[in-house]
Amino acid sequence: MNGASTDSKTGALNTRLACPKDLESVSQLLPELGGPHYGERFPGKTSYEFCRWKYTSNPAGDAAVGVALDGDRVVSVVAGTPKRVRIGGEVVLAFELGDFITANSYRNRGLFSKLINLVCDSARQRGAAFVYVRPNDLSFPILVSRLSFVEPRKMDERRYVVPSAAMERKLGIPAVIPRALGADWILRRIVVRDVKTSVRVEPVTRFDDGVSRLWARLQDCYRFSLVRDSHYLNWRYIDCPTPYSAWAAYRDDELVGYLVAFAGSSQPLGTFLDLFTHPEDEDAASALVRAAIDALEQKGVRVIYAWTLQYGAEAAAARTLARACFLVKKQPLHVAIRFLDDNLSIRGLPSSDWQLTVGDFDGS
Ligand SMILES: CC(C)(COP(=O)(O)OP(=O)(O)OC[C@H]1O[C@@H](n2cnc3c(N)ncnc32)[C@H](O)[C@@H]1OP(=O)(O)O)[C@@H](O)C(=O)NCCC(=O)NCCS
């Protein structure tokens, strides 16, 4: 078994990289992490099928999943998902970490720490330059205090609130009244700019070569971005068991941008996962956000979330999301990186032109 080990602190527990037979047990542990709405990620399917999609069908390679086992039962998981990232002018392999969970009665024994090191070792052996994660307030201190992670950026959690729904919730005014008076339409006009050139927006059922050509044209405009070609985007958003919605923007039949969003089925909440355009193409970004807000509102969504970097992302996509999702949560979100390539360091990271969105991370 891959790197199997036990130690005095973890008693009889094995820690090693998962093999296919562990997947069922991993998928039984994850719902605790995903919370009550975890099932929204795979309607009509199982947690096992979701794991299989995530860990074994990624065009960048299989995930490195570290597990701790008590007998046959997985009691702690750390997953590393390979992603291709363009930094400066170079494409490198990175692993995005997630699915951090240790079963309640096995916590504070060093299992998570051990699995992080195991997954990082595996990523290094597979040639990865770094691992990255959007940790929560429980895992972040462990990562930076004892596991060599650094925080290159923080992200703001932002939201767009449909005004008629907010008035109903806060003031008790039935939403139909402000909606009929145009409140929703007016706010959307204020926070999403007018589109001055001719941009056509259409729903996307599958990303084609047009999106790979868009990436090829724009890749030099960004200094830190996941490789956004059709192989990656189809795996991440179309073949995923989560029912995302996607739109593409066209100018003169040329694809000039796309947006991917999610609408919850059990709560009226949505998320903008990925918006990508030329850094100066405000019209494409605005047309996409406008179309998505309209479509999500029609599905009953009343609040739409987005994440934007606090600095380093100045492109039209980030500016448009920041303007539309104008309410900012006080507590920013952490981003943490551990470098595996000795030539990389936090000071060597690009200072500007980042493209980093919700969908570049685990979840949602
Ligand atoms: C976050 C979480 C995964 C940590 O798992 P864990 O296995 O308890 O983590 P560890 O045991 O490695 O570290 C926890 C603490 O135990 C300590 N510890 C105890 N024995 C240890 C040992 N032998 N070796 C290393 N650390 C040890 C660590 O120092 C750490 O202390 P700190 O918080 O003061 O830094 C776990 O709390 C969890 O599942 N939480 C709920 C889900 C969640 O929020 N996940 C994070 C999503 S981003």
What is the DSSP annotation of 5-16?
Answer: EEETTTEEEEEE
Whole-number Cα distances in Å, 187 to 178, 197, 275, 317: 11, 21, 20, 19
Average pLDDT for 103-118: 97
β-strand partners of 15: 5, 68
Mind giving me the DSSP string for 68-123?
A: EEETTEEEEEEEEEEEEEEETTEEEEEEEEEEEEE-GGGTTSSHHHHHHHHHHHHH
Contact (CB, 8 A) for 198 and 250: no
101 Cβ below 6 A of ligand 1: yes
CA 331 to each of CA 135, 270, 304: distance values in angstroms, whole numbers, following the listed order: 13, 20, 18
pLDDT, average across residues 160-177: 94
How far away, in angstroms, is 95 Cα from ligand 1 center?
20
Q: Would you state the pLDDT for residue 1?
A: 40
Cα 271 from chain centroid (whole Å):
10
pLDDT tens per residue across span 79-103: 999 999 999 999 999 999 999 999 9
How much is the mean pLDDT over the chain? Answer: 94
**346 in helix, strand or coil?**
helix
* Cα(265)–Cα(243) distance, integer angstroms: 10
Tell me the CA–centroid distance for residue 210 and ligand 1, in Å.
Answer: 44
How much of the chain, in percent, has pLDDT values that exceed 90?
A: 92
Q: How large a percentage of the chain has pLDDT more than 70?
A: 96
- H or E segment to which residue 48 belongs: helix 47-56
Q: Is the shortest distance between the CB of 27 and ligand 1 below 6 Å?
A: no
Output the pLDDT for position 197: 84
Q: Does 102 sit in the ligand 1 pocket, CB within 6 Å?
A: yes
CA distance 356 to 38: 23
Which residues are registered as beta bridge partners of 65?
Answer: 79
Residue 276 CA neighbour count, 13 Å, CB half: 31
Closest CA to 246 of 228, 227, 233, 232: 233
**Is the CB of 117 inside a 6 Å radius of any atom of ligand 1?**
no
Confidence band, pLDDT 50/70/90 cuts, at residue 192: very high
Each residue's pLDDT tens digit, 16-72: 999 999 999 999 999 988 888 899 999 999 999 999 999 999 999 999 999 999 999
Distance CA 242, CA 157 (A): 21
Task: Give pLDDT, residue 229.
Answer: 98
State the residue for tokens 């068991």.
241
Do 164 and 178 touch, CB atoms closer than 8 A?
yes
Q: What is the mean pLDDT of residues 292-318?
A: 95
Instruction: Identify whether the C-beta of residue 124 lies closer than 8 Å to the C-beta of residue 340.
Output: yes
Which atom of ligand 1 is found nearest the CA of 134? 48
pLDDT tops 90 at residue 363: no
Q: Give the Cα separation of 165 and 158 in Å (integer).
A: 17
Mean pLDDT in residue range 109-114: 97
pLDDT (average), residues 238-249: 97
50-59: long-range contacts (C-beta < 8 A, 24 or more apart)? 50/241, 50/242, 51/23, 51/26, 51/27, 52/23, 53/239, 53/240, 53/241, 54/79, 54/81, 54/240, 55/18, 55/23, 55/79, 55/81, 57/235, 57/239, 58/82, 58/235, 59/231, 59/232, 59/235
> Nearest C-alpha to atom 14 of ligand 1 is from which residue?
108
| Ligand 1, atom nearest to 10 Cα | 23
pLDDT at 357 over 70: yes
Ligand 1 atom with minimal separation from the 101 CA: 39
The mean pLDDT value for 344-356 works out to 94
Q: Whose CA is nearest to atom 24 of ligand 1?
A: 110
For residue 70, what are its two tokens? Answer: 């008590």
Q: What is residue 362's predicted lDDT score, i.e. its pLDDT? A: 81
Ligand 1 atom with least separation from CA of 145: 35
pLDDT in tens, 123-165: 999 999 999 999 999 999 999 999 999 999 999 999 999 999 9
Distance CA 317, CA 212 (A): 18
**CB of residue 138 inside a 6 A radius of ligand 1:** yes
pLDDT at 41: 92
Separation CA 277–CA 204 (nearest Å): 15
